[in-house]
Amino acid sequence: MKGNVFVIGLGLIGGSVSLAIRNTHHETLITGYDVDHKNLRLAKVLGLIDNEAETIKEGAEAADLIIIGTPVVQAESIIKELAMLDLKDDVIITDVGSTKKGITTMAACLEEKGYTFIGGHPMAGSHKSGAIAAKPHLFENAFYLLTPYEGTPAGQVENLKDWLSGTKANFLVITPELHDHLTGVISHFPHIIAAGLVHQAKNCHSEKQLVSRLAAGGFRDVTRIASSSPQMWRDILLHNKDVILQLMEEWIAQMEQVKHMVQGQEADEIFDYFATAKRFRDDLPVKAQGAIPAFYDLYIDVPDYPGVISEITGYLAQENISITNIRILETREEIYAALVVSFQTESDRKLARDCIQKHTNYETILT
């Protein structure tokens, strides 16, 4: 497609969407705007955008597609500003926020002026941020949720999908209300639980100093998502307040049920509780991406001697396999060490496993 695209906010998500559009629509002119001028210049140097806009007005009034790549709080203010501008009649405006009901309600001011707003939520992410972290394949095989108004022309929804086709994401069209409920269940609430588990361990650590050391293994992995941005999760919880409060009440009721089973020593009921959870969890898709970013970890059982880490990373470097994180788990009374190497994608993890098996006899485990 030819035309002008305007990206407001060139962080990980906005920058990655921009790259995906560039890789598919080669004749498109992409203009960017970011309150961080250094990040904006970096986006230009990295080829995420063609031009820099000094103001939102400058980029928006010439655009066929406007992508708001900022957090929800900032996106709401931007929508108000866009509603006061003289935009193209057939412009499409979308966002990338994690909550949809509030932003869609706010965007009614755009619809009243005849502009098309279609809420968007690409369900992928990374531990990195800023334009430097943008990747054109970030959303590949991930779900990309679109939440148009009920009366939005189907043609405009298809146009947006076409613009975003370079993401290679799986598009789902749902209502804003359903979006917020689904993401509340499988993303927002789990982050609360993870943070709660960390707080419980932290409180216990003040009395029992071994807690932090023992928590360095599986507990650290279970609560991994608790390391996400506090600012982002503050905003998400406040914007999805009604859903979160409902889920909290349901969770409290479920924990009361478990508490009752334990108090009554109801062995069969306790077994069924865990067996049902195991069956549902085991039936979840293995390769599909969901609302919480997947972690592609490779466990390597290596002997504990000086230089073993550089040996492993050297083999990976020889085959141009990038890693995102590396750490050692102490095991077997510290005689051996399990090296945990994290990757950006499942394909990188499999390549790494093949690489290690080719060069060494160390056992590798995919989790």
Specify the pLDDT at position 308: 82
Distance in angstroms (rounded) separating the CA atoms of residues 344 and 12: 14
Residues 10 and 107 in one domain: yes
Handedness of CA 120, 126, 129, 133 (dihedral sign): negative
State the alpha helices, DSSP H only, in 169-295. 176-183, 189-205, 211-214, 218-222, 230-239, 241-263, 267-282
Residue 13 lies in a domain: yes
Strand partners, 171: 144
| CA distances, 181 to each of 58, 119, 186, 246 (Å) | 36, 15, 9, 10
Q: Is residue 279 part of a domain?
A: no
**312: domain CATH number?**
3.30.70.260
Same domain, residue pair 38 and 183: no
**Residue 93 bridge partners (DSSP):** 66, 117
326 in a domain, yes or no? Answer: yes
CATH of residue 41's domain is 3.40.50.720
Alpha-carbon span 118 to 111, nearest angstrom: 10
Same domain, 204 and 139: no
Q: Is residue 142 part of a domain?
A: yes
- 56 shares its domain with 147: yes
Query: Is residue 122 one of the residues assigned to a domain?
Result: yes
Chain segment 201-259, per-residue pLDDT in tens: 888 866 667 777 777 667 877 888 888 888 889 999 999 999 999 999 999 999 999 99
CATH code of residue 241? 1.10.3660.10
What would the mean pLDDT of 21-50 be, rounded to a whole number? 92
Q: Does residue 125 share a domain with residue 90?
A: yes
Domain boundary residue among 127, 156, 174? 174
Residues 218 and 146 reside in one and the same domain: no
Q: Which pLDDT band, with edges at 50, 70 and 90, does 109 fall under?
A: very high
Angstrom distance (rounded) from CA 348 to CA 319: 11
User: Do residue 227 and residue 243 come from a single domain?
Assistant: yes
Q: Which residue range(s) make up the domain with 134?
A: 3-174
Confirm whether pTM is higher than 0.85: no
| DSSP letters spanning 107-156 | THHHHTTT-EEEEEEE----S--SGGG--TTTTTTSEEEEEE-TT--HHH
Mean pLDDT of 25-54: 92
